[in-house]
Amino acid sequence: MTRLWNTPAEFADEMVDGFVAAHPRYVRKISGGVVRRAVSPEGQVALVVGGGSGHYPAFGGLVGPGLAHGAAMGNLFASPSTQQVLSVARAADNGGGVFLSYGNYAGDVLNFDAAQERLRAEGIACETVTVTDDVASAPLAERHKRRGIAGDLTVFRAAGAASAAGYPLAEVARVARLANDRTRSFGVAFTGCTLPGAPEPLFTVPEGKMAVGLGIHGEPGIDVVDIPSADELAALLVERLLAEVPDGADGRVIPILNGLGSVKYEEMFVVYGRISALLEAAGLTVIDAHVGEYCTSFDMAGLSLTLYWLDDELADLWETPVDTPAYRRGSVGAVELSDAPDEAPVAEVVLTPGDAESVALAETVVAVLETIVATIDQNVDELGRIDAIAGDGDHGIG
């Protein structure tokens, strides 16, 4: 369970404040999230990632040279608003267009798509690729419906590397689509996770059992089984992913064993030892194995395995140096740091009073919105329960 918090409703904002205070060399805070402190070249495509908070190092922890230019950070397990995405995208834009990428969840799709439309209307070129790596969430024939989980890292890295290499916006999008097509993930959990101030977990797993194929917010999985040994779990994960090898795979693969929050590194190393042996036995060439926390779910006890199938272009892009608060690869070298303030000043909006009819209508609209807010607040637990059963996630404080 989550033990340390002040006011649950303020947790996400306070978390962002603390994150920025801890990493001033990497990020600066703006309305809606964070952007790089490092100055990016003029004309470079800006990669903006994002989603709900509670998944660190996704998403703010992946902002820095070689990876994301900005992260829109929503409330706990809830999509950032359209305005948050817009704010981050505008601040990150270098004149080369904005590339948006995030996990495939209904709330994120709704808000990021709306932001994309507004950016384009403002004359800022914008493209999007959603991450759909979770093989348990939909069949292969309906891959567009799949959730995004730890495969975020491979898609973000490919897009960030393409941007750093000077690819134009259309080519960054092409590379990200290719990376997404080459990424497959499968996860399990032993316990649920508890949001700050919540009286009970979002979901529970029976004692001695393991939920198979569930999502990072606790979306329903495909089975509940007895907890296996480490070797048996490794076999389950590898067998499921090798049953769906992407077209064009040449045998080079990057495995990412991702802890969801409460499984310790030592446990994951035991599991990965067997995963490595099974991949070798399958005739695969392992490149740059990752074992750690890359996309968590608060305090959920569980893990997922991602296989990222390379080709020559993706392999070259993977070697791009990365330097972010939570993820580093290679040596980026010296960078110029922006001296821009954390919070950009908001331009004052001068309102012209309307006529009596307009004022009366506005009062009615305000009353309607206040009623909606009050109704949601009164039924927040039931709405969260319904959304959890529906299986899309986003059933957070938002």
Residues belonging to the active site: 217
Place of tokens 């036995």: 281
Q: At what angle do helices 230-242 and 265-281 cross, to 10 degrees?
A: 50
Q: Evaluate whether 254 touches 242 at the Cβ level (below 8 Å).
A: no
CA nearest neighbour of 383 among 251, 202, 234, 257? 202
In 3D space, the residue among 137, 126, 69 whose CA is nearest the CA of residue 103 turns out to be 137
* Residue 150 φ then ψ, to 5°: -70, -15
Cα–Cα distance, 179 to 199 (Å, whole number): 40
Strands (E), 159-204: 183-189
Torsion-angle region of 157 (φ positive above 0: left; ψ -120 to 50: alpha; else: beta): alpha
> Residue 93's Cα: distance from chain center in Å?
20
Query: Quick check: bond before 269 cis, omega within 30?
Result: no
The whole-angstrom separation of Cα 331 and Cα 11 is 34
Backbone angles phi, psi at 285, to 5 degrees: -105, 115
285-286 and 322-323 strand pairing = unpaired
